[in-house]
Amino acid sequence: MDLSTINPAVLLASLMVASTPILLAAIGELVVEKSGVLNLGVEGMMIVGAICGFAVSVETGSPVLGFVAAAAGSALLSMTFGILTQFFLSNQVATGLALTLFGLGLSALMGQGYVGIKPPAMGDLNLGPLGDIPFVGRVLFQHDVMVYVSLALVAAVWAFLKYTRAGLILRAVGESHDAAHALGYKVVVVRLAAIAFGGACAGLGGAYLSLIRVPQWTEGMTAGAGWIALAIVVFSSWRAWGVLIGAYLFGGVTVLQLNLQAAGLDVPVEYLSMSPYLITILVLVIMSSGRGRAALNAPASLGRSFHASH
Amino acid sequence: MQRRTILKGGAAAAATLALGRPGFAGSHLPVKAGFIYVGPIGDGGWTYEHNEGRLAVEEHFGDQVETVYQESVPEGADAERALTQMALGGADIIFTTSFGYMDPTINVAKKFPDVKFEHATGYKRADNVATYSARFYEGRAVQGTIAGMMTETNKIGYIGSFPIPEVIRGINSAYIHAKKVNPDVEFSVVWAFTWFDPAKEADAATALIEQGCDVILQHTDSTAPQAAAASAGDVITFGQASDMAEYKPLPRVSSIIDNWAPYYIERVQAVIDGSWEPTDTWGGIDSGMVKIGEITDAVPEEVKAKALEIRDSIADGSYHPFTGPLNKQDGSAWLAEGETATDETLLGMNFYVEGLSGTIPQ
């Protein structure tokens, strides 16, 4: 048993990188669910974002354009979900699942010519002297720009939901769409905007996988990250900072157990890998009991279709 | 999570599916061959090679055979559903291409006695279930030799998928041959508990490189560890299941290629002839089921010569990768001087050989 071979600074730094894709996807889904829409298509939107971002950055040589394209592509894809659920009032669960299947297939088709290609590298952000601070510098200040974008997004979403009027309207729509409608708010427009935002975030998360974390295009490369993002939203009980903690916990456990194994420590891998899911199940159990639902902060109209009858 | 079943063979195939004709072997054409894959066909590794085998079947038989496949089928209960669906769809022979499909294959085979099943890498057979696998450990012997001679830090990283005999055999074989050419070599094994998860595989490779490993061997299916090694620099890797040629000449210095095409063609032919039997096939370098991919120029000449010597001596049968004296990890005797391991021991291998550290998760 020798823990000294693991460099904690490197471990924490790789934890942040490993968590960024699910953090991006989860913060987007948080906004979607706060508006009362349950979009289970995160996995499909992520993988479409992964290939859109990969293809565009390979063709243009610019990772930044790749991320922009990933966000746009996934937002566009999420609009199919938006139109189906908001205008045609289709079942959100079924439509979300269909979106995942569709996204996986579409991405495989789009990615045909991109297997085995190396994307242009996105360098780490140079923060000057900050990066030279011992320990803290390695952990916090030697990352690519997307890690900071993801953190800024969490802060922005938190502030938006808590302090802005638009955020209040979004929450009102999620809590009671009938009341919000009666007050004159455009429920469908608010929800479509939220869905598009969720799609864009999922796309960024997917592109982070294919452009920075792996980096390559492989069919089905998200391998369930979208489902983890959905679990994180529940885990956070619909709070922005909770999403951050959840994402770092889920990502951290994976990185930690791999590093412990590589250092030759005898760790019960299965239990460590299982732990975030066990916590999520626990949260779901508490949530499904009547009083728990309100206590856990779940939007009251989550997953319900809205139809203005007057 | 992907549920695409693609039918080749146009309208005839669609009509066949719609009619849901029960499968019966040897008396009708075209024969329908089904394939169940654990990953996407574009994984660049394990599933990709199985699909190459399927395409070879199509090309070889032309109109006589039509093939169907389903990719990314999870191991476990869901596999039973996929298998049942394929059998109901009129498949005459179904290849299930991952270890975790073993029990689902046996269960579904009971319900469809007229359909032939072929399960890869398993050990359970029935009247209509055959098994087949390749002696990947022979290729691992070649890899271990190269790895042992090439490492400068004397630390070799190994990304394992699941602690099953097939994977453990590979670790043991690679270790024995690395140790033979480099007594100071140490192995770090990381269990990923997945066959295919590029992000996790990349993380595992990065963690190993961080620990000072300058050779990464993988028993997972994607090319992600190759990309991680390429960005770290000064690390060599080996293609797994497929050539992974896009990472030549570095980090990928050689590879083990699974060549399923001859076997698939032979077995489908047996169904057409009505001569199919529930056999157990375990092909190696000699039969061509295991191929050693090109050893690149990044490997010094004498290392390459040594590796090819091992390959050829395995191919002509003069050398067995598990030849005594060998002890188990706990120090107890396993093989005496000159004794070679039996297939039975190898198929159920659940122990490390002496010198490997760490324990196998149970």
Quote ipTM for the complex.
0.80
Q: Do residues B11 and B152 both lie within one domain?
A: no
How many helices (H) and strands (E) would you count in chain A?
13, 0
Q: Which two tokens stand for residue A115?
A: 């297997």
Interchain CB distance below 8 Å, B42 and A218: yes
B residues 119-138 near A, CB within 8 Å?
none
Say which residue, B353 or A134, is predicted with more confidence: B353
pLDDT of residue B21: 42
pLDDT surpassing 70 at residue B198:
yes
Interchain CB distance below 8 Å, B208 and A105: no
Q: Do residues B216 and B149 both lie within one domain?
A: yes
DSSP, collapsed to helix, strand or coil, labels residue B250 as coil
pLDDT of residue A142: 80
Question: pLDDT above 90 covers what percent of chain A?
Answer: 56
Answer whether A252 touches B (CB < 8 Å): no
Count structural domains, chain B.
Answer: 2
Interchain CB distance below 8 Å, A224 and B157: no
Q: Does some domain include residue B266?
A: no
Q: Do residues B184 and B235 both lie within one domain?
A: yes
Q: B188 to chain A: which residues are within 8 Å by CB?
A: 261-264
Task: List b or e across B35-72, with b for residues whose CB sees 16 or more CB atoms inside 10 angstroms.
Answer: bbbbbbbbbbbbbbbbbbbbebbbeebeeebbbbbbbb
**B190, B224, B361 member nearest A214 (Cβ):** B224
* Cβ-based neighbours of B9, under 8 Å, separated by 6 or more: B30, B66, B67
What are the tens digits of pLDDT across the range B291-321?
999 999 999 999 999 999 999 999 999 999 9
Q: What 8-state DSSP symbol labels residue A209?
A: I
Q: What range does the domain containing B316 cover?
A: 136-257+293-347
What are the tens digits of pLDDT across the range B323-343?
989 999 999 999 999 899 998
Distance from CA of A213 to the nearest CA of B (A): 7
Q: Does some domain include residue B14?
A: yes
Q: Does some domain include residue B281?
A: no
Q: A225 to chain B: which residues are within 8 Å by CB?
A: 199
Interchain CB distance below 8 Å, B199 and A269: no
Q: Do residues B150 and B127 both lie within one domain?
A: no
CA–CA distance, B43 with A73 (Å, rounded to integer): 23
Give strand pairing partners of B327: B333
Residue with tokens 């998200």: A222
Amino acid at site A146: M
**B196, B208, B227 member nearest A214 (Cβ):** B227
Q: B199 to chain A: which residues are within 8 Å by CB?
A: 18, 21, 209, 213-214, 221-223, 225
Nearest to A231 by CA among A74, A79, A59, A33: A33
Answer whether B23 touches A (CB < 8 Å): no
Q: Do residues B220 and B204 both lie within one domain?
A: yes
DSSP, collapsed to helix, strand or coil, labels residue B113 as coil
Q: Does some domain include residue B272?
A: no
Interchain CB distance below 8 Å, A221 and B222: yes
pLDDT of residue A253: 84
Query: Final residue of a domain: which of B115, B134, B153?
Result: B134
Answer whether A116 touches B (CB < 8 Å): yes
pLDDT of residue A118: 80
CA–CA distance, B259 with B49 (Å, rounded to integer): 7
Query: Final residue of a domain: which of B77, B99, B134?
Result: B134
pTM assigned to the model: 0.81
Answer whether B197 touches A (CB < 8 Å): yes
Cite the DSSP H helix spans in chain B: 10-19, 46-61, 77-88, 102-111, 136-150, 165-181, 198-210, 224-232, 261-273, 301-315, 343-347
Distance from CA of A44 to the nearest CA of B (A): 10
Q: Do residues B165 and B196 both lie within one domain?
A: yes
Instruction: Please report, for the domain that includes residue B50, its CATH number.
Output: 3.40.50.2300
Q: Does some domain include residue B354?
A: no
Answer whether A214 touches B (CB < 8 Å): yes
pLDDT surpassing 50 at residue A87:
yes
Q: Which of A12, A118, A214 to mutate to test the interface with B (most CBs of B within 10 A)?
A: A214
Q: Do residues B128 and B84 both lie within one domain?
A: yes
pLDDT of residue A89: 93
Interchain CB distance below 8 Å, A255 and B207: yes
pLDDT surpassing 50 at residue A54:
yes
Q: Do residues B20 and B152 both lie within one domain?
A: no
Alpha-carbon dihedral sign for residues B271, B274, B278, B283? negative
Q: Do residues B148 and B224 both lie within one domain?
A: yes
B residues 26-55 near A, CB within 8 Å?
39-44
Q: Does some domain include residue B271?
A: no
Q: Do residues B50 and B83 both lie within one domain?
A: yes
What band does B361 get if pLDDT is binned at 50, 70 and 90? confident
Q: Do residues B204 and B106 both lie within one domain?
A: no
What are the tens digits of pLDDT across the range A228-244?
899 899 888 899 999 99
Interchain CB distance below 8 Å, A220 and B44: no
Interchain CB distance below 8 Å, A116 and B44: yes
CA angle B112, B116, B122 (to 5 degrees): 105
Answer whether B246 touches A (CB < 8 Å): yes
Summarize the confidence of residues A48-55 as an average pLDDT. Answer: 95
Query: Final residue of a domain: which of B111, B134, B157?
Result: B134
Q: Do residues B175 and B250 both lie within one domain?
A: yes
Residue with tokens 């829409």: A37
**A5, A117, A266 member nearest B359 (Cβ):** A266
What are the tens digits of pLDDT across the range B2-13?
444 443 344 344
Q: How many CB pairs under 8 A join A and B?
A: 126
Q: Does some domain include residue B118?
A: yes
Amino acid at site B254: S
pLDDT of residue B22: 42
Q: Does some domain include residue B323?
A: yes
